[in-house]
Structure 1
Amino acid sequence: MTDGYDDESYDATARIVDPGGDEEERRIEAALRPKKLADFPGQPRVRDQLGLVLEAARRRQKPPDHVLLSGPPGLGKTSLAMIIAAELEQPIRITSGPAIQHAGDLAAILSSLAEGEVLFLDEIHRMARPAEEMLYLAMEDFRVDVIVGKGPGATAIPLELPPFTVVGATTRAGLLPAPLRDRFGFTGHLDFYDPADLAQIVTRNAGLLGIETTPQGVDEIAGRSRGTPRIANRLLRRVRDYAQVHGAGVLDRGAARAALDLFDVDEQGLDRLDRAVLEALCRRFGGGPVGLSTLAVAVGEEPDTVETVSEPYLVREGYLVRTPRGRAASAAAWAHLGLTPPPDTTGMPQLPIDEGGGRFGD
């Protein structure tokens, strides 16, 4: 038996109501997700705003306004979408923007929705333009126009839809067209978590997984998780493995440090790729500036991988600078590697402005 649909979406209600399943990974994932808005750690502003929207909808006994959640990966957008459905006591259908490449794909999903159902569109900014235009009408007037035939003889047949709620998630809100963004009644932006919130998440999830912890071990994981719960959960599992194999089964500071060192996660949360980028910048290119493509070749990765996986954290933490002529290492990067920056640049080259425009470092 499967909860999938022919249109490649699927019903995730079973993951909310009954987290048990045949697949171990799905069981663990469901167990770690909070089920209620009150249990959602961190993001107090978004949590309070969303709680107000949902409570008002419950009192009116109508579906809430459409919700757009934005922010970097791993901060809880999918968890919040499932919480919305659980708080409304409605089923949830999950699909993604890349899976909807034709208007007919979206029409098939919309026409099968029940009244009050929640439709979660992950990576909504990657939806095809014809599907976006169909979604405008569906979100605003709860109807779609199905085109029958081709050419001059084509006919548009309006199809009425029951009221439903769209929850969109995006890591790049700026790529959403204005007409689509304006149709969301509530927009919440998720920020990176502070170590105290991450420690709370690690403690809670360790309890759900049956792991004995110490406050020092929890703090060690939280401090190296880059402000991201998804990373914290991944590191928690790896430290658990290390504690069970090489330790006494207790997640303490010694086990956490040894495990994270083994998996190349340093005290600042930098992993192998992050350090490779900084090493290439400082040791091979004298601190930069160097183009993104050249930097990617130097570390043996694709440019998109460096730009989307490593670079955001390095820029946010002040290790890397994006300049008009390419990427440059900051003084903090030299210090982190234990190197002395060149005296004439101090790790921060003063560069003339490139009037040519275009993408940085390409």
Structure 2
Amino acid sequence: MSIERDLVSPEPEGDERLIEAALRPKRLDEFIGQGRVREQLSLVLESALRRSRPPDHVLMSGGPGLGKTTLAMIIAAELGAPLRMTSGPALERAGDLAAILSTLSEGEVLFVDEIHRMARPAEEMLYLAMEDFRVDIVVGKGPGATSIPLDIAPFTLVGATTRAGLLPAPLRDRFGFTAHMDFYEVDELERVLHRSARLLSVELPPEGAHEIARRSRGTPRIANRLLRRVRDFAEVRVEGVITRDVAAAALNLYEVDAEGLDRLDRAVLDALLRKFGGGPVGLSTLAVAVGEEPETVEVVAEPFLVRQGLLARTPRGRVATASAWMHLGLTPPPDAFGAGVIPGLLDGA
């Protein structure tokens, strides 16, 4: 994976989780953005505290890097409860989940990241645990197998998923509170950057924060990553102050353009426009043209391009929009996808 793609990937890279831990807000009133989710979650937690009962199970959905893990940590902190963390892929067998559930203390918060990737046996055990705070342990095999009921301490499950549509309905229905995390606006990312800059002892004027925020693809994780790279550039090349010009120069060096597109994004658009006349073209053909795997193009590049209104998925294949032609400085043909739309209407779609 290239350094450019690392910069704008919403997934954590290498030891980035350690850096993120230092920048995470610790309480709900410190959390920036997601205003409606914060208000709803505040009511859920306050009500539980007044009743001296664990709150309903919480499901958070949304793209990577938007703060789902941070909110799980905040939920535990607000409740004054311990936090146990695991992930869906780690729960391959029912026994893996039973080992965790049987050792939970009363009121403990269990966070399961990527919960949609949990194995079916563990998932079925979780149904009973969430509803009745009980698990059935099967001892033996075949006709002689015996089911032993085991009571577990009341707990709160916090599940996080980037693919809410893959969650089975029986599991989804057992969550009392569901929150969807939206992408951030530029002004919200500016506030995130100013907070991170204070923690990192970086001098970040408002215009510098704005320049980084507008290239951060609506994702706090990417904003903080770009801030660290711009900080390196500012410390080595200039006096350490991240002005607008310094931020722009640093991000241009790392090939992250003014709209947050990186090398792969522009390669996809360039191939689609210059080699295939704007499409439609199949995913596999497009991937070969840019020298990447189809999954990389579909999962890594396409979501942001579609959200920015630069690319459309149609039954016949991928199609570049009129905005994509203009982004690369080309004149869109009269029949370009979205050519009749008012300029700017597709932005953020």
The 5-angstrom pairing of residues 280-291 of structure 1 reads: 280-291=271-282
Matched, 1:200 2:187: no
- In 2, Cα distance between equivalents of 1:28 and 1:72: 20
Q: Percent identity?
A: 73
> Which residue number corresponds to residue 88 of structure 1?
79
- In 2, Cα distance between equivalents of 1:326 and 1:166: 40
1:188 to 179, 184, 187: 179
Check conservation: 2:136, 2:150, Cα contact below 8 A: yes
- In 2, Cα distance between equivalents of 1:163 and 1:116: 6
> Which residue number corresponds to residue 138 of structure 2?
147
- In 1, Cα distance between equivalents of 2:169 and 2:18: 38
Q: 1:311 to 1:59 in 2, by over 3 A?
A: same
- In 1, Cα distance between equivalents of 2:120 and 2:219: 31
> Which residue number corresponds to residue 267 of structure 2?
276
Check conservation: 2:84, 2:109, Cα contact below 8 A: yes
> Which residue number corresponds to residue 159 of structure 1?
150
> Which residue number corresponds to residue 311 of structure 1?
302
Give the superposition deviation at 1:141. 0.4
Aligned CA-pair RMSD: 1.6
Alignment size in residue pairs: 327
Give the superposition deviation at 1:25. 5.2
1:108 to 88, 99, 103: 99
Matched, 1:69 2:97: no
Give the superposition deviation at 1:26. 5.2
- In 1, Cα distance between equivalents of 2:296 and 2:82: 35
> Which amino acid is the alignment partner of residue 173 of structure 1?
A
1:31 to 4, 11, 22: 22
Matched, 1:346 2:310: no
Segments of 5+ residues of structure 2 without an aligned counterpart are: 1-13, 340-349
Q: Which secondary structure does the structure 2 equivalent of 1:72 belong to? A: coil
Check conservation: 1:75, 1:228, Cα contact below 8 A: yes
- In 2, Cα distance between equivalents of 1:26 and 1:219: 25
> Which residue number corresponds to residue 217 of structure 2?
226
Deviations 1:220-279 (A, max 9, x none): 001111111011011000000100111111111111001100111100111111111101
- In 1, Cα distance between equivalents of 2:337 and 2:183: 27
Give the superposition deviation at 1:341. 2.8
Deviations 1:156-175 (A, max 9, x none): 11111000000000011111
- In 2, Cα distance between equivalents of 1:235 and 1:292: 29
Q: Which secondary structure does the structure 1 equivalent of 2:178 belong to? A: strand
Check conservation: 1:286, 1:342, Cα contact below 8 A: no
TM-score by length of structure 2 reads 0.91
- In 2, Cα distance between equivalents of 1:81 and 1:252: 34
Give the superposition deviation at 1:292. 1.0
Give the superposition deviation at 1:28. 2.8
Check conservation: 1:329, 1:348, Cα contact below 8 A: no
Check conservation: 1:146, 1:156, Cα contact below 8 A: yes
TM-score by length of structure 1 reads 0.88
> Which residue number corresponds to residue 294 of structure 1?
285
- In 2, Cα distance between equivalents of 1:301 and 1:141: 48
Q: Which secondary structure does the structure 2 equivalent of 1:233 belong to? A: helix
> Which residue number corresponds to residue 176 of structure 1?
167
> Which residue number corresponds to residue 213 of structure 1?
204
Q: Which secondary structure does the structure 2 equivalent of 1:250 belong to? A: coil
Check conservation: 2:320, 2:336, Cα contact below 8 A: no
Check conservation: 1:144, 1:158, Cα contact below 8 A: yes
Deviations 1:288-322 (A, max 9, x none): 11111111121122222211211111111110010
